[in-house]
Amino acid sequence: MSNKEDSIIKNYLEKVKLIEKYNKSYYDKDAPVISDYKYDELKKKTLEIEKKYLFLKKFESINNKIGFKPSSKFNKIKHAKPMLSLSNAFNNNDIKDFGKKINNYLNNTNLNLIFSVEPKIDGISASLTYKNGVLVRGLSRGDGEIGEDILQNLKTIKQIPHSIKSQDIPKILEIRGEVYIGKKDFEKIKDKFANPRNAAGGSLRQKESTRTAKIPLKFLAYGFGEVKPFILKKQSEFLKKINEWGFKTNPYNSLAKNLKEIDDQYNKIEKNRSDLDYDIDGLVIKIDDLALQARLGNTSNSPRWAIAYKFSSVKAKTKINDIVIQVGRTGALTPVAKVEPVTVGGVVVSKATLHNEEEIIRKDIRIGDIVTIQRAGDVIPQVVSVDLSKRDKQSKKFIFPTKCSCGSETIKEININTKKIDAVRRCLDREYKCQFIAKEKLKHFVSKDAFNIEGLGKKVIDQFWDLTLIKKPSDIFNLDYQRIESLEGWGKLSAKNLKTAINISSKISLDKFIYSLGIRHIGQENAKLLGNFFKSITKLIELFNSFKRENLLKNIAELDGIGSAQLNSLKEFFSNKTNNEILSSLIMNLKIKNSKALNKDGKLTDKTIMFTGGFEKISRSEAKSLVEENGGKVLGNISSKLNMLVVGNSKPTKSKIEKGKTVGVKIISESEWYKLLNI
């Protein structure tokens, strides 16, 4: 490295350090030590240097580092109804599937579904609660269950009414919508933030609401949370009504009667996208009928009645500099292409997934190739195609390693369901000797839907892992904070905040705990099923007991939703000695809340139900949800533990009815079932 380069780097890093120091005092301590003007100057200068010297690219841009800290400075408040996210559709086939799934769930293909089609603004969602017309609560989304109290900041937004004066407003009215910054307004402050979304998020979470007030944020309402009493029947009616009440709604919202109309609207809005004064990343397609929305309900993360229809992806050409193998938490070996950094749709991309060995073979992807990569929404960029005309004559096929980066052998398993050989190669280590798997497991453990520890993200896990501060989950709860305080990038305050966040996270529900263990094939839905089954951690860890395991697994096998993949995986996890040790030392540090029956005084509380045959009015999935809503459990087998066998009118299995009779289970017909639940 030349002397000149050396001194530029030194100068640059000094500036970055200063900015980080100022940020800390501003964001963490709310005590700025320099004026806004001086700060802006410094930042601008540093960004200029970054742009000018390409060799500075190896450092993370200050634009990415700077912004806002998800803060422990706001009070946390539980949402009256969870703020879910949406699943994505990337083309009209996905939208077709969305429609099909709805029809299947409702068990009716003749419904004339009407869709509310709304532009999806790429901003920050917020919830506003009005009691008797007065704004009393304002929350950020947070993790969807618990939000941050940002009422004072939201109140500075002109488009958010502080009170609604109208005769017909519900006593409790929770409005949800998007806080965003207009493109023109963003122009004025663009030096400070990476994009308008960051700008909106950053300013919305300022501790001082006067600082939020300085940035021209806007609000568009699109939905509701808790509303009492609620008399409206359609999403479109709701949007119209809240518009009358003084909320701004999107003028491009429309209704569609079929998939073609959805597509027409999609094409029209995508074409005019750049004329809008805000960024949109797609449309949100919702079932307009609110009663149908309620019937459809949610999966664990997203509603069945809505989907985000994302605008088509953006592509770019670049060179593959290297292909590396990443090992995931389930041991899957994923090849990743390190590419020459390119900007794709406003984001700098330096790696792209190659999915698996087969994909590399099929597309014959090689190191040194010029490839087209594509980014769609938040998904990891992918390699779409190779430009063979640009391939070097000397280039060689990429040989996929047969060993894991830890040295262990790998295999391609046979899929239990399809009986085909898996495309994914996996590390065979099951004893936590594979450091790669162990580290990924930790990242899963602290992730949003698991322990959700603020300030302990993937990067910190990497840092603490290298410093041997965290090697297994229980280490998180026995951290050496004095040491952390003195680490580069840390200090007294951030160490204290981390301690608080870890403390808070140590109280956890049983189902989240089960999910956080990262057992293969046990996602959030299955973790919930198991949480409800075991009810307490003491019961769960009986699975480690080889005498009890067999029987417990037999009972679990009866739960509707658990298949052989899940059973094998549970068996493997709980017969492993290392897992036993890890869990024992972990549990000591935690307070794991027992699972309660979903509905303690439901019509089916503590009852086990099984279905045979199809229903005429509803689908099996809806029937299952109804049982759970009413406090019951759905089993997949007849045994003496079964309380009720419901016989659908369409093709019930005779042998099941016979077996039910032998065991002495109560057997009811489809119409009796409707009567029981008042459907």
Scanning the structure block, which residue is given the tokens 């520890």? 453
Does 121 interact with ligand IVH (rule: CB under 6 A)?
yes
- Cβ distance to ligand IVH smaller for residue 121 or 290: 121
C-beta of 553: minimal distance to ligand IVH in Å? Answer: 35
**Spatial separation of the C-alpha atoms in residues 539 and 533, rounded to whole Å:** 9
Does 377 interact with ligand IVH (rule: CB under 6 A)?
no
**Spatial separation of the C-alpha atoms in residues 491 and 483, rounded to whole Å:** 10
C-beta of 200: minimal distance to ligand IVH in Å? Answer: 11
Give 275's DSSP letter: G
> Do residues 113 and 102 touch, judged by C-beta distance below 8 A?
yes
- Cβ distance to ligand IVH smaller for residue 84 or 411: 84
Among 306, 437, 446, 501, binds ligand IVH (CB under 6 A): 306
- Cβ distance to ligand IVH smaller for residue 7 or 85: 85
Among 142, 223, 331, 473, binds ligand IVH (CB under 6 A): 223
Does 63 interact with ligand IVH (rule: CB under 6 A)?
no
Among 11, 85, 267, 655, binds ligand IVH (CB under 6 A): 85
Does 222 interact with ligand IVH (rule: CB under 6 A)?
yes
**Spatial separation of the C-alpha atoms in residues 288 and 237, rounded to whole Å:** 9
- Cβ distance to ligand IVH smaller for residue 178 or 454: 178
Does 357 interact with ligand IVH (rule: CB under 6 A)?
no
C-beta of 544: minimal distance to ligand IVH in Å? Answer: 38
- Cβ distance to ligand IVH smaller for residue 153 or 408: 153
Does 279 interact with ligand IVH (rule: CB under 6 A)?
no
> Do residues 248 and 221 touch, judged by C-beta distance below 8 A?
yes
**Spatial separation of the C-alpha atoms in residues 27 and 70, rounded to whole Å:** 10
> Can 120 be counted among the known catalytic residues?
yes
C-beta of 347: minimal distance to ligand IVH in Å? Answer: 18
C-beta of 303: minimal distance to ligand IVH in Å? Answer: 5
> Do residues 283 and 98 touch, judged by C-beta distance below 8 A?
no
Written as six digits, the tokens of 557 are: 């096998």
C-beta of 127: minimal distance to ligand IVH in Å? Answer: 10
Does 86 interact with ligand IVH (rule: CB under 6 A)?
yes
Does 67 interact with ligand IVH (rule: CB under 6 A)?
no
Scanning the structure block, which residue is given the tokens 């417990």? 552
Could you tell me the CA-to-CA distances from 530 to 524, 533, 549, 553, 595 in Å, in that order? 10, 5, 14, 11, 10
Does 303 interact with ligand IVH (rule: CB under 6 A)?
yes
Is the link from the previous residue into 229 a cis peptide, with omega within 30 of 0? yes
Question: Given the rule CB under 6 A, which of 68-76, 84-92, 315-323, 356-364 is the region that contacts ligand IVH?
Answer: 84-92
> Do residues 537 and 587 touch, judged by C-beta distance below 8 A?
yes
Q: Is the dihedral of CA 44, 46, 51, 57 positive or negative?
A: negative
Q: Which of 44, 58, 81, 120 is catalytic?
A: 120
Question: Given the rule CB under 6 A, which of 118-126, 420-428, 523-531, 598-606 is the region that contacts ligand IVH?
Answer: 118-126
- Cβ distance to ligand IVH smaller for residue 25 or 87: 87
Could you tell me the CA-to-CA distances from 309 to 96, 396, 605 in Å, in that order? 11, 40, 38
**51-60: which pairs have CB atoms within 8 A and are 24 or more residues apart?**
53/5, 53/8, 53/12, 55/5, 55/9, 56/8, 56/9, 56/12, 57/341, 59/12, 59/13, 59/16
Does 178 interact with ligand IVH (rule: CB under 6 A)?
yes
Among 63, 107, 125, 452, binds ligand IVH (CB under 6 A): 125
To which H or E segment does residue 373 belong?
A: strand 370-375
Number of residues that bind ligand IVH (CB under 6 A): 14
C-beta of 277: minimal distance to ligand IVH in Å? Answer: 15
Could you tell me the CA-to-CA distances from 602 to 369, 485, 574, 668, 675 in Å, in that order? 61, 50, 33, 18, 15
Question: Given the rule CB under 6 A, which of 303-311, 317-325, 512-520, 617-625 is the region that contacts ligand IVH?
Answer: 303-311
Question: Given the rule CB under 6 A, which of 56-64, 191-199, 301-309, 329-337 is the region that contacts ligand IVH?
Answer: 301-309
Residues labelled as active-site residues: 120
- Residues that bind ligand IVH in the complex, under the rule CB under 6 A: 84-86, 118, 120-121, 125, 178, 222-223, 284, 303, 306, 308
